[in-house]
Amino acid sequence: MTATVRSVCVFCGSAAGVAPTYLDAAAGFGTLLARRGLTLVYGGARAGLMGVVADAALAEGGTVIGVMPRGLWAREIGHTGLTEMHVVESMHERKALMATRADAFVALPGGAGTLDELFEAWTWAQLGIHDKPIALLDVAGFYQPLLAALDHMAAQGFIRPAQRAMLVVEREAETLLARLAP
């Protein structure tokens, strides 16, 4: 894994979800990143958990880099107050640029887009394309059903134990960051 973590790519929902716990966790994670001097790299939206994590990091004086495809700028309500905003042409460019700018990846609660980004980063690690840590912040057990499915896939021989072990899972942000950026 990467020796030094200076920036963390956060994958999370452009929606807020139904529980205030998700918003609180996103705000807490953004604040924690900034307090630790870690740059936040994320999808560039002002809405949902994405906006909350960015606003919290910015409020704490942190550096925030957004990456958003041009076609999503209006739909996801692009954030105009970031340290850096990169508007790219495609989702492929978005994911590649976020991966280039980050030293680690963390997924907070989200939907299909969050899972797409998480699984691509994890697959790239499995293929040796990068050696950056990949993690889930399991807010209020949000990822427990997914983890059960992944464990089932491993038990059925579709995910190797070493590949499954690549995915760091913690319920507390402090513990998670301690494992990624000691």
166 assigned to some structural domain: yes
At residue 73 the predicted structure's pLDDT band, cuts being 50, 70 and 90, is confident
Mean per-residue pLDDT, 20-48: 97
Between 135 and 76, whose confidence is greater? 135
Tokens 């790299």, located at residue: 41
42 assigned to some structural domain: yes
Instruction: Provide the percentage of residues in the chain whose pLDDT is more than 90.
Output: 93
Supply the pLDDT for residue 181: 75
Mean per-residue pLDDT, 151-179: 97
Residue 1 reports pLDDT greater than 80: no
Are the CB atoms for 85 and 113 separated by under 8 Å? no
171 assigned to some structural domain: yes
Give the single-character DSSP code of 38. Answer: P
Average pLDDT, the chain: 95
Mean per-residue pLDDT, 56-83: 93
Tell me which residue range forms the domain holding 28.
7-177
Are the CB atoms for 108 and 26 separated by under 8 Å? yes
Are the CB atoms for 78 and 85 separated by under 8 Å? yes
1 assigned to some structural domain: no
Which is it for strands 134-137 and 104-107: parallel, antiparallel or unpaired? Answer: parallel
pLDDT digits (tens, 9 = 90+) for 45-66: 999 999 999 999 999 999 999 9
Instruction: Provide the percentage of residues in the chain whose pLDDT is more than 70.
Output: 97
Residue 2 reports pLDDT greater than 70: no
Q: How many domains does the chain have?
A: 1
**What pTM did the predictor assign?**
0.96
pLDDT digits (tens, 9 = 90+) for 96-124: 999 999 999 999 999 999 999 999 999 99
Helix (H, G, I), strand (E, B) or coil at 39: strand
Supply the pLDDT for residue 3: 64
Supply the pLDDT for residue 135: 98
Sign of dihedral through CA atoms 69, 76, 132, 34? positive
What the block records as the tokens of 104 is: 């680690």
Give the single-character DSSP code of 3. Answer: S
Helices 20-35 & 173-180 angle (0-180, nearest 10): 40
2 assigned to some structural domain: no
Tokens 């139904």, located at residue: 18
Between 45 and 181, whose confidence is greater? 45
169 assigned to some structural domain: yes
182 assigned to some structural domain: no
134: CATH = 3.40.50.450
